[in-house]
Chain A
Amino acid sequence: MHLAYPAVLSALLFCTGLYGVLARRNAILVLMSVELMLNAVNLNLVAFDVWLSRAAEETLHSGQALALFTIAIAAAEIGIGLAIVLAVYRNRGTSDIDKLRDTAEGPGGDGPDGDVPGGDASATRTAAEKAEATA
């Protein structure tokens, strides 16, 4: 088999995942796109391992071992990522990553303290929200 087939397929899959990570708004969809990118890397690892095990008589099978490690790390990553997303959803009521702008700097004012106009009640409410979010 021509080596360009799996290499091109994995490059295209990686760029599809890249588009998903950049364009999606829901955190779980972003996690799905990250899975696509990891799978593209796995395909590359397996294809190059199969090529090198014949062409260079490489007996270490490092590509397949690394692919297995990547699969295990991706499983751990998806578990932790979903736990974080669920914790954020419980605290904020949303899994929309565009709305999580507490540490953002930009034209919209620096954080929720900047764009909320004065007043003790709103300030304490924001402080309570922040404490709840960080707790």
Chain B
Amino acid sequence: MTLAAVATAAHATTTTAAGTHGFLSPTGVEIAFLLVGLVTLGAAVITVTTRQLVHAALWLVVALGGLAVEYLLLTAEFIAWVQVLIYVGSVVVLLLFGLMLTRAPIGRSPDADSGNRWVALAVSVAAAAALVWVVVDAFRTTWIDLDGAPAGSTEVTGASLFQHWVLPFEALSVLLLAALVGAIVLSRKAKADAAATPTTGTRRDTEGAR
């Protein structure tokens, strides 16, 4: 009896959901999301397929910026600006510095892809097909309510972050400090090694033994 009631209730909600939101009549937000998503996906595909290394980093800027716009469309403003600041502002600049310091060739590099690209393509296409099928099948009748106050304004995010997530937040600062110290240690060890290079081989042998 209760099962039947639950089933009818679920059916009622499903039909009302399908009634209020037409399945084939997208709203303006959905069209904007779809267009920006296409740009983002195209930029991501070019990022992983182009043979010019610097162009890959620059297309990554387009992909990450498109994701920031998607966050804005999902009314998560704070995450969007954090995305712009950290990813577009610092991570891509770090990647460009890394490309510069490893003397990446400007222009086409014929060996940007390894020999197993067809296997990789098969794996990723299979994973994409499986994931898209499962996700579409699972959330076919689910809608996000974007009306009303934004769900991710700075006030809301800050309140939840400093009320419920203070301990992970502080632990994260320790993690950032550890990453900073680790990066410095990695660089310093290489510098000591470079200083040891012009000396005789015995020093290097002792270093190797140590």
Q: Which residues of A contact B (CB under 8 A)?
A: 1-9, 11-20, 22-26, 28-29, 31-33, 35-36, 39, 42-43, 46-47, 49-51, 53-55, 59-62, 64-65, 67-69, 71-80, 82-87, 89-91, 95-96, 98, 127-128, 130-132, 134-135
Contacts and interface: CB of A to CB of B under 8 A. Distances in A.
Contacts of B44: 13, 16-17, 36
Contacts of A11: 128, 131-132, 135
B143 A28 contact: no
B175 A73 contact: yes
Given A68-B161, A83-B182, A86-B101, A9 B41 contact: yes
Report the interface size class on chain B: 35 or more
A80 B102 contact: no
B64 A51 contact: no
27 contacts: A2-B21, A2-B142, A5-B34, A9-B37, A17-B44, A18-B123, A19-B120, A22-B119, A26-B53, A29-B48, A32-B47, A32-B57, A33-B47, A35-B87, A36-B44, A42-B67, A50-B146, A54-B145, A60-B164, A68-B82, A76-B175, A78-B95, A79-B179, A80-B186, A85-B102, A90-B190, A131-B204
Interface string B160-185: 11001100110010011011101100
B172 to A, nearest CB: 5
Nearest to B160: A61
B79 A26 contact: no
Most chain B CB within 10 A, of A17, A32, A65, A130, is at: A32
Contacts of B128: 11-12, 15
Given A5-B30, A46-B152, A49-B76, A28 B98 contact: yes
Tell me what chain A mostly uses at the interface: helix, strand, loop, or mixed. helix
Nearest to B182: A80
B142 to A, nearest CB: 4
A36 B63 contact: yes
A72 B30 CA distance: 29
B191 to A, nearest CB: 9
Contacts of A5: 30, 33-34, 37
Contacts of B29: 1
Contact of B75 (A9, A50, A62): A50
Nearest to A73: B175
Contacts of B156: 61
A85 B99 CA distance: 10
B7 interface: no
Contact of B112 (A26, A35, A65, A131): A26
A57 B31 CA distance: 27
Contact of A55 (B132, B145, B175, B189): B145
A86 B124 contact: no
A7 to B, nearest CB: 4
Given A7-B139, A25-B111, A28-B98, A72 B76 contact: no
A90 B196 CA distance: 13
A64 B78 contact: yes
